[in-house]
Amino acid sequence: MNDAFRYENGTLVCEQVDLASIGETYGTPAYVYSSSAIRARFRAYQSAFSDLSCRICYSVKANSNLSVLRLLAEEGSGFDIVSGGELYRVLKAGGDGRTVVFSGVGKAASEIRFALAEGIHSFNCESESEIETISGIANSLGRTASIAIRVNPDVDAITHPYISTGLREHKFGVSINAAEALYHRAAQLPSLLPDGVSCHIGSQLLDLDPLVEAADKALRLIDRLRSQGIPIRNLDLGGGLGVPYRSSERAISIETFAKKLRPKLAKADVTLTLEPGRSIVAEAGVLLTRVLLVKTNGQKTFVVVDGAMNDLIRPALYQAHHEIVPVIQPGGEGLIHADIVGPICETGDFFARGRDMAPVEPGELLAIRTAGAYGFVLASNYNSRPRPCELLVDGRRVAIARRREKYDDLTRSE
């Protein structure tokens, strides 16, 4: 259990607020985030890389709540976006467009125009067609677009196949060989400044070696490009540092990551960009849910809760493991073996299968841990379920970062 979420006198608390009272006051299901945990993770990146020329661009897709973005903007974070909508959120949260890097395999002309108008720092480009489009739009607006080409270093990130991106067969980036020709093409196009190399090999990485291998390959490419007269100044290594979803897992330490990169980067004289998402917000959040009922079918016990796959889809989509803990610490010793499921009409609607847990009664609160990243952002209204509220705790204060949706919200746009 990290510092932000811990038991005090038998009750799970977030910072200085107990989650039982949060459940009473704001209802369930509810996402609860700790400001101090988010700040601490961001600062860990900042301090580990403080002696290098480095910009930390929080990856908005992990958790795009305006209050979270505002908090990170205040900490001095830049932002990694993948859509015009994310840029809109960054600006609305008070973020500075000039700190933004725009990633993604397909950007619409309207999104490129928006990004150029806001003077973003750079585009991470993934195809020849894309750089031609950006050049055309930048030229028509009288702007110069700084671009990096996202190379696919062909390393195995050793993570879930849906979130691994750095192999040759994936849709992302261009091969290192093809990239060289693309840089020369970009250098000839008007209104483009090809001054960066970017890569991102996958998410939830628990092993540092693939990241270092990708960095080495990117640095060798930078050397070659420089010797061919293309003055690369920026290296963007993407995001990807994993978090321990199980107590048996060990995250890559940010300090060790920095230590491995330091000598390489110093020698290469580049500015580093990192795009961490999950490693900043995942552990800072829980999804609070209430037990509706407990039923048995034959041999199996099901704990049915009021949260569901529409609120947190990671278990259903990636077979992801999330620790699930009672808000009030159980008194007894015995365990039940149960599936923890939501009310949605899908067999895939589960948070945990075959979990050993303390017996629970209807009305009890459970906290689904490590839900601050890729939780609410992936929520939907499936089964016409209003999406949960998001609460941001700061010390003793609880702010409603997003109110719970009402039935009216479900039909508002129809």
So which residues are the catalytic ones? 345
In whole angstroms, how far apart are CA 161 and each of 157, 201, 205, 383, 398?
9, 11, 12, 28, 37
**Nearest CB to ligand LLP, comparing residues 12 and 280:** 280
Q: Which two tokens stand for residue 398?
A: 């609880």
Nearest-approach distance from CB 40 to ligand LLP, in angstroms: 16
Q: Which two tokens stand for residue 376?
A: 């609410």
**Nearest CB to ligand LLP, comparing residues 67 and 103:** 103
Please state the φ and ψ torsions of residue 395, each to the nearest 5 degrees: 65, -120
Query: Smallest Cα–Cα separation from 270: which of 325, 208, 219, 330?
Result: 219
**Nearest CB to ligand LLP, comparing residues 63 and 301:** 63
Cis bond upstream, residue 359 (ω within 30): no
**Nearest CB to ligand LLP, comparing residues 315 and 326:** 315
**Nearest CB to ligand LLP, comparing residues 15 and 275:** 275
Nearest-approach distance from CB 34 to ligand LLP, in angstroms: 18
**Nearest CB to ligand LLP, comparing residues 238 and 307:** 238
Nearest-approach distance from CB 236 to ligand LLP, in angstroms: 8
Q: Which two tokens stand for residue 123?
A: 């585009």
**Nearest CB to ligand LLP, comparing residues 241 and 327:** 241
- Check if the beta carbon of residue 80 is closer than 8 Å to that of residue 72: no
- 3-class DSSP string for the chain: CCCCEEEECCEEEECCEEHHHHHHHHCCCEEEEEHHHHHHHHHHHHHHCCCCCEEEEEEHHHCCCHHHHHHHHHHCCEEEECCHHHHHHHHHCCCCHHHEEECCCCCCHHHHHHHHHCCCCEEEECCHHHHHHHHHHHHHHCCCEEEEEEEECCCCCCCCHHHECCCCCCCCCEEHHHHHHHHHHHHHCCCEEEEEEECCCECCECCCHHHHHHHHHHHHHHHHHHHCCCCCCEEECCCCECCCCCCCCCCCCHHHHHHHHHHHHHHHCCEEEECCCHHHHHHHEEEEEEEEEEEEECCEEEEEECCCCCCCCHHHHHCCCCCEEECECCCCCCCEEEEEECCCCCCCCEEEEEEEECCCCCCCEEEECCCCCCCHHHCCCHHHCCCCEEEEEECCEEEEEECCCCHHHHHCCC
Nearest-approach distance from CB 374 to ligand LLP, in angstroms: 3
Residues making contact with ligand LLP (CB under 6 A): 59, 62, 80, 103, 163, 200, 203-204, 238-241, 275-279, 314, 318, 374
Nearest-approach distance from CB 98 to ligand LLP, in angstroms: 19
Nearest-approach distance from CB 313 to ligand LLP, in angstroms: 8
Nearest-approach distance from CB 255 to ligand LLP, in angstroms: 17
Neighbours of 160 (CB within 10 A): 14
**Nearest CB to ligand LLP, comparing residues 108 and 335:** 108
